Amino acid sequence: MDNNTTLENQLPSELGVLSEGNGGMVSDALSTSQSPGLIARVIGRDESREIQRQQLSELQLGFEHRTQALRMAMETRMQAMEEMCNQALITGKAELRKERSEFFAAELLKLEQAMNSFADKFNHDADERLVALETVRHEALRLREEARLLRCIDVFHTTLDQLMDSFSNIINESINR
């Protein structure tokens, strides 16, 4: 496979129109520079050099024009690819956010159910102990045990609140990856 075929396959199709006449222009300029004898005899050496300079200038302008067209075509393609990638990212991120939200909602429900179960059991046990305190005859023991049970109740419910807050903080954390 030669280099021209490979290069042509990689170039945008818009450039095909721009480069059709390029081969002829280069061939004309080369034949004029290689055989200046006929032109020089007909129109003179100074005029011949001016013709060569003009042809070279025309080739340079054509090259610059084609280079600019290639740059614009490539930028257009890059922008289209970038937009396509951005759309894929947006779609993917939306799906991931949906899955993340569903996951955390399910986990939050499980956590609330488990904590409600623990709280119900703890409250039932605490209530039974508070009722049983009424049977304690010595008032100092009863007051001391009642204060201890009330502290335990406060600590337990504060701990449940902290656990729920911790889980909420996990949900609200930003994931930067």
Residue 59 phi/psi, 5-degree rounding, is -65, -40
pLDDT (0 to 100) of residue 26: 63
| pLDDT tens digits, one per residue of 62-96 | 889 988 989 999 999 999 999 999 898 898 889 98
Q: How many CA atoms lie within 13 A of 112 on its CB side?
A: 7
Residue 110 identity: K
Stronger pLDDT, 50 or 34, i.e. the higher one: 50
Position 46 pLDDT exceeds 80: no
DSSP line for 22-82: HHHHHHHHHHHHH-HHHHHHHH-HHHHHHHHHHHHHHHHHHHHHHHHHHHHHHHHHHHHHH
The whole-number average pLDDT for the span 113-117 is: 94
Position 15 pLDDT exceeds 90: no
Residue with structure tokens 């429900």? 109
Position 97 pLDDT exceeds 70: yes
Query: 35: pLDDT confidence band, cut at 50, 70 and 90?
Result: low
pLDDT (0 to 100) of residue 131: 93
Taking the domains of the chain in order of start, what are their residue ranges? 16-172
pTM, to two decimals: 0.49
| Average pLDDT value for the chain | 80
pLDDT (0 to 100) of residue 152: 95
| pLDDT tens digits, one per residue of 116-140 | 999 999 999 999 999 999 998 999 9
